Chains A and B, each alone.
Chain A
Amino acid sequence: MSEFNPTILAFCCNWCSYAGADLAGVSRLQMPPNVHVIRVMCSAAVKPEYAFKALSEGIDGVLVLGCHIGDCHYLTGNHRTKKRFPVAQRILRDVGIDERRLRLDWVSAAEGEKFQQVITEFVSDIKKIGPNPLKEVKL
């Protein structure tokens, strides 16, 4: 059986984490190729339903990256994201999906290294958790 190569989705906010991801690129910081970024304007625009959809249809992990608390371009957005997150995790737990497949973190536009670190850690964590069992159901 070949090694498990997770497929991971990441939502990055335009002002901070997407720019941080860009900086990681500009700085040539290497990281595992499992994470696919969707750009949104604010982390608070990420509907929990997107995470539920992705995870229930076979994606192995979902990352939501926003600005550090206090730095949100839209003033209060990331506070919302922070509050919403434990609720989303509980819903995953309740339906039997490992809540560790959803992770929230803060990456500023200057934190290329943090982006690299978060990606590397998350991929490693998901590898340990194993493939999303719902993948089999779909196929």
Chain B
Amino acid sequence: MKDKVVVVGGGIAGIQAALDLGDMGFEVHLVEKSPSIGGHMAQLDKTFPTNDCSLCILSPKMIMCADHENIKLHTYSEIDGVSGDFPHFKVKIREKARYIDISRCTGCGDCTVKCPVKVPSEYEEGLTNRKAIYLPFPQAVPRKVTIDAAHCRMITQKKCGVCKKVCQAGAIDYDQKDKVIDIDASALVIASGYDQMDVSLLPQFGFGIAKDVVTSLQFERILSASGPTGGHLVRPSDGTEPKTLAFIQCVGSRDAKCHVYCSSVCCMYATKESILAGEHAPNVKTSIFYMDMRAVGKNFQEFVQRAKKSYGVRYVQSRPAKLQPSKDGKGVLINYEKKGTGGDVAQEEFDMAVLCPALEPSKSASRLAESTGLKVDPDGFFATPDLKHPVDSTSKGIVVCGFASTPMDIPDAVTQASSAAARVAEMISGGGC
């Protein structure tokens, strides 16, 4: 009888923890709230500092998870409650109704073509639409569609029903209900990741006001060959290629009025996105407005130098105070203080601006904290107070890894995921292997 471990969160940290635990011989239940595993890494075009294609390196791990004899995927699922103590946790997993019989769905996609309802796509960060019945992205694992009940005409108004008519596999089931599963787990791994803060809460940065101000995740989708613009660098207002581009660091981070902490990865990803912008549009002139250029990892400083020397990226050490639309509602005007001038303010116009928002603990984190009784730190991240055991949460038998515990990049999240697996094994196995 294998010991069971529940991993909450199917992003890169959750996936790695699940794979390591599965390889170590545990029965793993990987719970992910979206219809597919992959997390935010699946939305990225490329990853720093090598500019590896994100999905190319993520996809095989996703498939390994799905195929692993010891891993059971619970996608479109949430944790309803956790009771008990180590090593006898009772975990309630709610598998939300997809209204699809996943044993029949082959992921062919015929239903998505015919569905009449359009909904802003979460994966594309609202830049295009998906249907009420949808596959979040082509490489989704599992490759099964999901009906978004809130927007489906059949589920809400008993109208339409086109998807059922066209599905040749007979996989549509409008009467499906949520299913709650009880798991007796010896341990839990929290890998709930992050979400970008809602930058419309900081109107001085112009998001939602100036059309050509986008968030960095939106920019990733614009850069992606499989994204809404087919990988063409174009600005939202008129679909033209920007000649000037600005990145604004620390939007909501390192901000006494918002989040005091540093989101860690934005200096690097802004550098990456500026390099990619230069590859897509060789004549673009990019400026990065920053506070401290935190390029602390392997080959990171060289990456920044490359951006400066090979792509002419201009690094401006200054914190813009205001972004607003330029003439005709196109473009962006940026007000900032010039360093070392004792207060001179400049205003520059750019065709497009990218905001690097504070990265907050995932929206599901507070609910998870309630279900599990775990304490969070003043910034909302799951507290890991014992330095001797950096992945231990405040409850014995529950470990935390990745961004859920503190901002970190992909290699650090992968390392922590493996650490989480080691810790679980240590706690459960005790003496004897």
Contact = CB atoms under 8 A, between A and B. Distances in A.
B50 A110 contact: no
A23 B53 CA distance: 13
Nearest to B55: A110
Interface residues of A, number: 15
A137 interface: no
Interface of A: 15-16, 19, 23, 26-27, 70-71, 108-114
Contact of B138 (A23, A108, A111): A23
B59 interface: yes
B283 interface: no
Most chain-A Cβ atoms within 10 A of its Cβ — which of B50, B53, B55, B231? B53
B226 interface: yes
Interface in B214-237: 224-226, 230-231
Nearest to B56: A109
Contact of A112 (B50, B60, B225): B225
Given A23-B226, A27-B226, A110 B56 contact: yes
B50 A108 contact: no
Contacts of A70: 50
Contacts of A114: 225
A71 B50 CA distance: 9
A109 to B, nearest CB: 4
A6 B60 CA distance: 34
Contacts of A19: 56, 59
B412 interface: no
B129 interface: no
Contacts of A111: 53, 225
Nearest to A111: B225
Contacts of B59: 19, 109
A112 B56 contact: no
11 contacts: A16-B56, A26-B138, A27-B138, A108-B56, A110-B53, A110-B55, A110-B224, A110-B225, A111-B53, A111-B225, A112-B226
Given A19-B59, A23-B226, A27-B226, A109 B138 contact: no
B139 interface: yes
A71 B288 CA distance: 28
B255 interface: no
A113 B231 contact: yes
A109 B53 contact: yes
A107 to B, nearest CB: 11
Interface in B353-392: none
Interface in B316-331: none
Contacts of A71: 52-53, 56
Interface string B49-87: 010111110011000000000000000000000000000
Interface in B126-142: 138-139
Contacts of B60: 15
B267 to A, nearest CB: 23
Contact of A113 (B54, B56, B139, B230): B230
Contacts of A16: 56
A113 B224 CA distance: 11
Contacts of B56: 15-16, 19, 71, 108-110
A68 B218 CA distance: 25
A70 B50 CA distance: 8
Contacts of A110: 53-56, 224-226
Nearest to A110: B53
B3 to A, nearest CB: 33
Contacts of A108: 53, 56
A57 B226 CA distance: 38
A65 to B, nearest CB: 14
Nearest to B138: A26
Contacts of A23: 138-139, 226
Nearest to A25: B138
A71 B60 CA distance: 14
A129 to B, nearest CB: 29
Given A109-B56, A113-B230, 9 more contacts: A19-B56, A19-B59, A23-B139, A71-B52, A110-B53, A110-B56, A111-B225, A113-B231, A114-B225
Nearest to B50: A70
Interface in B20-60: 50, 52-56, 59-60
8 pairs of A and B residues whose beta carbons are closest in the complex: A109-B56, A110-B53, A26-B138, A108-B53, A110-B55, A110-B56, A113-B225, A108-B56
